[in-house]
Amino acid sequence: MSSAHELILFALDKEGKVAYADQAFASFCEQPRERIAGTDIHRYLHSYLVEYLKKEGKDFLRFARSNVGTPVRVDFVRPVSKQRRTYVCQFIIPEPLLSVGWEVIVVARDEEETKELRRLIEFERECSRQLLSGDFGMVITLDAQGRIVTVNKTCEENLRRRTSELVGTNVMSLLAGEADREEMRKVFRGTRLGNQPESFRLRLKADGTEIATSVTARALHDPLNDEVGFVLVLRDTEENLRMQATLGRIERMQALGLLSAEIAHQVNNYLHVLSGNMDLLELDLAESKSLGGDEINRLVTGTLKNARPVIQRLLDLMNRLKEFAKAQKGPSPGLADVNTAIRNVMALVDGRVRKKGVQVETVLEETIPPVRCSPLHLEQAILNIVLNGLDAVAKNEGEIRISSFAQDGEVHVAISDNGAGIAEEVRKRLFEPFVTTKPEGVGTGLGLAVARKAVADAGGKIDVETTAGSGTTMTLRLPMCIPQEGER
């Protein structure tokens, strides 16, 4: 039996009988090739099509001749099992083979794969139009032999060469060393290219200097899936680092914006408590004329004692906000306590949690060692995932569970929610910048990308477990750290 996405090919003679059949067509028909030769093609067509052809006064051969050059959907049927499959057929009149009795050659591909290829080709064309017209990094398209077909303006500027100088030259001439040329050979051999774009690094030559780039490569195909060339999108590595730092700052500001109303509510509550304490203090002082000195001291001291923790909470909250809002170039070295980071994050989201009516459970292993990373960036990674969980759960029905524990030389932070889960097609691209399932205006799609970057900088990774309708668990796995002498 042929696979669901196999190209089939056969030829018809003057009588509409099969003059030639390839092995794929024979496999589809569930018959040896020698038994198919000489049989009427109508035997392999769906009855609806046969009836239509009779009604039109045509046979399949005439139908094919009248549609040369036009892709046509045809329903074929296996004679034994009666299984039907729709193919998109292209009809070719083989001039050199007319003398041996071949009237029409039929090249057919499964309809679903044809749709997929058309979507891919249109996507690649649209990407090319956008990339070639804008400043999206360097874009180079190549033919199947590696010769440059087009370059964009950014490529001209970075390589300091005009398009007319680049078009027609082999891309190998732009590469700095043998290791870079070997990477390109892998692209040409197809060992780097599958169904998804492949990323790697190349060094380019420009006026005696080298440009380190990160490259995304993809093969280009025609409608029959034959490889016709390649498209390379290259970004300056230094520019990438600057962009990642900018994304981190954007995400911090967006998180602060989301939390601002809830934090203002917390501050307002604290101020009300302080105001009440000040009122009590005024009353105590007003009544002081009838009280002894010891009694006045007791009342005033008690009121101030109640106010002091509230003031400290306000100071802590403001300090965390100021630290979180700092735009740093990268994680500062040092040790971070995971449990402290979790508690700080939960203090920031407390108002949001209560407003949405979410039940939060924290289970923290108090004896776990620290991890070597920036405490600020660790808090940001945890906060982004917690905020995603809060957005995913239903109001007054949501549940969030945060746990920390040590396992196999790693410190784990598991954040679970009982939301709707994540679809598989989204999960594959979950950590890409600007990928989000939230409505427009609710999220930027940067949160998880920033979280993964912070965890990766600390030598860790994020695992995702999700089931549609049953919630999601994201686990930050960070290498355990034994503090060196003098570290805290």
Give per-residue pLDDT as tens, 185-202: 888 877 555 545 567 888
Residue 263 has pLDDT above 70, yes or no: no
Rounded to the nearest integer, the mean pLDDT of the chain is: 76
Residue 213 has pLDDT above 60, yes or no: yes
Query: pTM of the entire structure?
Result: 0.39
Q: What is the band of 459 on the pLDDT scale with cuts at 50, 70, 90?
A: confident
Domains annotated for the chain, with CATH where assigned, are: 8-110 (3.30.450.20), 116-237 (3.30.450.20), 330-488 (3.30.565.10)
Whether the Cβ atoms of residue 169 and residue 147 lie closer than 8 Å to each other: yes
Residue 375 has pLDDT above 90, yes or no: no
Residue 133 has pLDDT above 50, yes or no: no
Residue 433 has pLDDT above 60, yes or no: no
Q: What pLDDT sits at residue 399?
A: 93
**How far, in Å, CA of 222 to CA of 120, rounded?**
10
Give per-residue pLDDT as tens, 142-187: 888 889 988 888 888 888 888 889 999 999 999 988 989 988 888 8
Mean pLDDT value of segment 477-485: 74
Query: Lowest-pLDDT range, 226-235, 396-405, 436-445?
Result: 436-445
Q: What is the band of 317 on the pLDDT scale with cuts at 50, 70, 90?
A: low
Residue 88's identity, in one-letter code, is V
Mean pLDDT value of segment 465-482: 86
Q: Based on the number of CB atoms within 10 Å of its own CB, is 98 exposed (0-12), middle (13-18) or buried (19 or more)?
A: exposed
Residue 421 has pLDDT above 70, yes or no: yes
Select the more confidently predicted residue: 38 or 451. 38
Residue 250 has pLDDT above 80, yes or no: no
Q: What is the band of 259 on the pLDDT scale with cuts at 50, 70, 90?
A: low
Mean pLDDT value of segment 279-306: 62
β 359-364/227-236 pair status: unpaired
Q: What pLDDT sits at residue 266?
A: 52
Mean pLDDT value of segment 107-121: 64
Select the more confidently predicted residue: 469 or 356. 356
Q: What is the band of 441 on the pLDDT scale with cuts at 50, 70, 90?
A: very low
Q: What is the band of 469 on the pLDDT scale with cuts at 50, 70, 90?
A: confident
HEC letters along 109-138: EEHHHHHHHHHHHHHHHHHHHHHHHCCCCE
Q: What pLDDT sits at residue 60?
A: 92
Structure tokens at 366: 């108090």
Select the more confidently predicted residue: 63 or 374. 63
| Packing angle of the helix pair 375-392, 293-325 (nearest 10 deg) | 90
At 349, is the secondary structure helix, strand, or coil?
helix
Structure tokens at 52: 């239509």
